Structures are given as structure tokens and as C-alpha cells.
């Protein structure tokens, strides 16, 4: 089954052709980074306008690179949640129009579930496993038992990890996008120059949850308080110390979740899954023989349409189609969590 994927949830205009949920024939991404760089963040109105201008050409390019006739596709998968409403509407309405014109079914896809599916595009990843999503808008630790069977163990109670990276980078005028800039700077800095605090979530119901608001505030407003008094207060040292604290906070929850669930596989997705510190930290667990670790390639960590098409295949295969009345949602869809709250005392 050949599926056309369309992704416009934020500032990446993307289209891809994927067969049987695994074989990627094309994966085209038109990035808006240069357009949003002057503002050091995504401007929603600008993003949606650019999607409107680019979507047709991006889809045409993906079909051409795949070397297939558009009429040969079996269905369309398109992101309809969560994300920027204006951007989502562009992709969804384009998919609806194309579906009607070609007489092909379409399915609305949850962006978060698609990021969790991304490692499957390049790996023989068996269920169940511990799924990790780290992005600009989301931070999630979950048990993944199937492409549509996900139990959330923990999430952020405030800022997502990627959001914290972006805001720290913006405050210190390091550049945009913040996550990539901090990752690069951290390579030349001392992670021990600043000992930033780890948030203490004492409630038993926040066993695997994380919080990045306090860490972000400490880095921006309380730098001297956590300085070791020896190393320079330069950007490289700030970046290295902040990144070390942010990844360490998350990895402690991951290690605990692996131990208590007994899962032997872990897979990560989302933009921050491309972070070198995070990847090396997770690989250490693999090197120690604790678990098998799976990552998408860096291109599949960021927003892309291949993961949308890949996940969409499984729904379309079950003949689960969306209606033309389908709309978009900026909010995160509900995931199962009650069973794990009960089992692990959360």
C-alpha cells in the first residue's frame, strides 16, 4: 500500500511517499527556519501563509522524487493534531481536496504518535518498548504496545524540553533554532561550570514527570547563584551546563521507568532526540547491556511527512478513514494512563 503523507503542524512544510509503513520513496521538507530566524521563534501567521504558498509544490516534488503517478497512491495521511491551527488547516484542507479529486481515502494523524512511530521507518523495532518523545512542544515517557496502543507514564508539567532549549538560546542571543545551537556550543563548554538545580516533584503521582520551567528560570535569571566560581561565564559553559542538567533530569526518569516496567527496548523521537548528549546518554544504557536502543536518523527526528505516511498506513490498512468533516486541534489528544497509574502507584 502506497501512502502520501502531508505534514504542516508547525513551520516545516513536508510531503512523503511511503510504502507499507516502512519503505520511504521520498521525504521532502521545505524548512521555514530562515523566515522565522529574525524573530527567534515561529510566527504562527507567517508559518500558515508560507504553507499555503508551498504545499502544492512540496507535494509535487515528493511524488516526482518517488517516481510514481499520483493516481497510484492508495491513500493520504495528514497531520491534523496537535500543532498550530492555521498551519494544520493548510495541510488538512489540501489533503481533503486531493482525496476528493483522486477518489482516495484519507486519515487524520496525531503528530505525537507519528514521532513515536518514526524509529520504525529504519529499524525492526518490536513491541512493546519504552517510547520517548522530546520536542519543542512535548516531553513524554510512555509504554508503546502497538502503533495505536500507548500508555503515558510521564510528561512535562510545564515547559517541554525543546521549549526550554529555545528560550535559553533566545535570552542569550545564541541563534535559532536554539536546540541545535546549544548542542553545538556545548561541545566546547564545561558542563560543570554551573550546577543547576533539579526540580523536585515530590508527589507520588509525578513519578516519571519532568519540569523544565524552573531550570530555564535558573539559567536565565539566577546564573551567578549556580556558578562554580572558577570557569568563565561564557556561552559555551552556560550551554554545556544547561544541556547536561536538562538531559540528566530526563534520563533519571527514563532509567527508573525501564527498571520498573522491565522493558528491554527503548525508542526515541522528536527534534531533541537528535541532541548528541541525549543520544550518547541513551547509548550508554545499550552499551551496558541494559536495553536495546533505537533512534530515527536526524532528518526523521524533526517534523517530517514520512512518519505521518508510515503511521497512516496502519490505519488505512484497517480501513479506518477520516470524514471530510474532520477538523484540526491545537491540543494534545488523550492517551491511556489509568492502568499504569494504578500499577505503579501514580
Domain assignment of residue 55, yes or no: yes
Same domain membership, residue 312 and residue 259? no
Per-residue pLDDT tens for 15-27? 999 999 999 999 9
In this prediction, residues 122-137 reach a mean pLDDT of 96
pLDDT tens digits, one per residue of 245-270: 999 999 999 999 999 999 999 999 99
Q: Domain for residue 325, yes or no?
A: no
Confidence at residue 202, expressed as pLDDT on a 0 to 100 scale: 67
The pLDDT tens digits for 214-235 are 999 999 999 999 999 999 999 9
User: Given a cut of 90, is residue 345 above it in pLDDT?
Assistant: no
Cell 510521564, located at residue: 154
Q: What is the mean pLDDT of residues 38-43?
A: 93
Domain match, 71 and 112 both: yes
Which pLDDT score, from 0 to 100, does residue 338 have?
41
Domain co-membership, 173 together with 110: no
Say which CATH number the domain at 191 has. Answer: 3.30.420.40
Cell 519543542 sits at which residue? 136
Asked whether residue 234 is assigned to any structural domain, the reply reads: yes
Regarding whether 94 and 127 lie in a shared domain, the answer is no
CA distance 201 to 278: 22
Q: What percent of the chain has pLDDT over 70?
A: 95
Residue 141 and residue 37 in one domain = no
Distance (Å) of CA 127 to CA 121, 144, 317: 14, 7, 19
Tell me the average pLDDT of the chain. Answer: 93
pLDDT at 330: 86
Same domain as 131, residue 264: yes
Choice among 34-38, 189-193, 201-205 with the minimum mean pLDDT: 201-205
pLDDT digits (tens, 9 = 90+) for 234-244: 999 999 999 99
The fraction of the chain above a pLDDT of 90, given in percent, is 89
Evaluate whether residue 337 is within a structural domain. no
Residues 138 and 284 in one domain: yes
Confidence of residue 342 (pLDDT cuts 50, 70, 90): very low
Phi/psi for 156 (5° steps) reads -80, 145
Nearest in space to 51 (alpha carbons), one of 74, 69, 35? 35
pLDDT at 243: 98
Give yes or no: residues 152 and 284 share one domain: yes
**Are residues 308 and 192 part of one domain?**
no
pLDDT tops 50 at residue 103: yes
Least confident of 55-59, 323-327, 328-332: 328-332
Q: What is the pLDDT of residue 289?
A: 82
pLDDT tens for 45-68 read 999 999 999 999 999 999 999 999
pLDDT at 149: 96
339 lies in some domain:
no
> Do the domain assignments include residue 340?
no
Confidence of residue 341 (pLDDT cuts 50, 70, 90): very low
In-domain check, residue 332? no
Q: Where are the alpha helices (DSSP H) in the chain?
A: 33-36, 44-66, 85-102, 111-117, 161-171, 178-186, 213-221, 235-261, 276-287, 298-301, 306-317, 338-343
Q: Do 277 and 309 reside in the same domain of the chain? A: no
232 assigned to some structural domain: yes
Would you give the distance in Å from CA 25 to the centre of its chain?
Answer: 22
Whether 305 has a pLDDT exceeding 70, the answer reads yes
What is the pLDDT, as a whole number, of residue 21?
97
> Are 149 and 225 found together in one domain?
yes
Claim to verify: residue 251 and residue 129 sit in the same structural domain: yes
CA distance 32 to 27: 16
Q: Give the pLDDT score at 199.
A: 83
Q: How many domains does the chain have?
A: 2
Residue range(s) defining the domain that contains residue 97: 2-116+303-317
The average pLDDT across 104-115 equals 97
Amino acid at each position: 500500500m502506497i501512502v502520501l503523507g502531508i505534514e504542516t503542524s508547525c513551520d516545516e512544510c513536508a510531503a512523503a511517499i511511503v510504502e507499507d509503513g516502512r519503505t520511504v520513496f521520498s521525504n521532502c521538507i521545505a524548512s521555514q527556519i530562515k523566515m522565522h530566524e529574525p524573530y527567534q521563534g515561529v510566527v504562527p501567521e507567517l508559518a500558515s501563509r508560507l504553507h499555503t504558498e508551498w504545499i502544492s509544490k512540496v507535494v509535487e516534488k515528493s511524488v516526482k522524487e518517488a517516481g510514481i503517478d499520483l493516481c497510484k497512491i492508495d491513500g493520504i495521511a495528514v497531520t491534523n493534531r496537535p500543532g498550530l491551527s492555521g498551519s494544520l488547516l493548510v495541510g488538512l484542507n489540501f489533503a481533503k481536496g486531493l482525496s476528493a479529486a483522486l477518489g482516495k481515502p484519507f486519515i487524520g494523524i496525531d503528530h505525537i504518535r507519528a514521532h513515536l512511530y518514526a524509529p520504525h521507518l529504519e529499524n525492526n523495532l518490536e513491541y512493546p518498548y519504552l517510547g520517548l518523545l522530546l520536542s519543542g512542544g512535548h516531553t513524554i515517557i510512555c509504554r508503546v504496545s502497538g502503533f495505536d496502543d500507548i500508555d503515558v507514564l510521564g510528561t512535562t508539567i510545564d515547559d517541554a524540553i525543546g521549549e526550554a532549549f529555545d528560550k535559553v538560546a533566545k535570552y542569550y542571543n545564541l541563534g535559532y533554532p536554539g536546540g541545535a545551537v546549544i548542542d553545538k556550543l556545548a561541545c566546547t563548554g564545561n558542563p560543570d561550570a554551573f550546577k543547576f538545580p533539579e526540580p523536585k516533584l515530590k508527589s507520588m503521582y509525578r513519578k516519571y514527570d519532568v519540569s523544565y520551567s524552573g531550570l530555564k528560570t535558573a539559567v536565565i535569571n539566577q546564573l551567578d547563584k549556580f556558578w562554580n566560581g572558577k570557569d568563565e561565564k561564557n556561552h559555551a559553559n552556560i550551554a554545556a551546563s544547561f544541556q547536561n542538567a536538562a538531559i540528566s533530569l530526563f534520563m533519571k526518569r527514563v532509567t527508573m521507568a525501564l527498571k520498573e516496567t522491565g522493558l528491554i527496548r527503548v525508542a526515541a523521537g522528536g527534534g531533541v532526540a537528535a541532541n548528541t548528549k541525549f543520544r550518547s546518554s541513551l547509548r550508554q544504557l545499550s552499551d551496558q547491556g541494559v536495553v536495546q536502543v533505537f533512534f530515527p536518523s536526524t532528518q526523521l527526528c524533526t517534523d517530517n511527512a514520512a512518519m505521518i505516511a508510515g503511521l497512516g498506513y496502519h490505519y488505512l490498512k484497517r480501513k479506518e478513514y477520516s470524514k471530510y468533516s474532520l477538523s484540526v486541534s491545537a491540543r494534545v489528544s488523550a492517551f491511556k494512563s489509568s492502568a499504569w497509574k494504578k500499577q505503579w502507584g501514580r
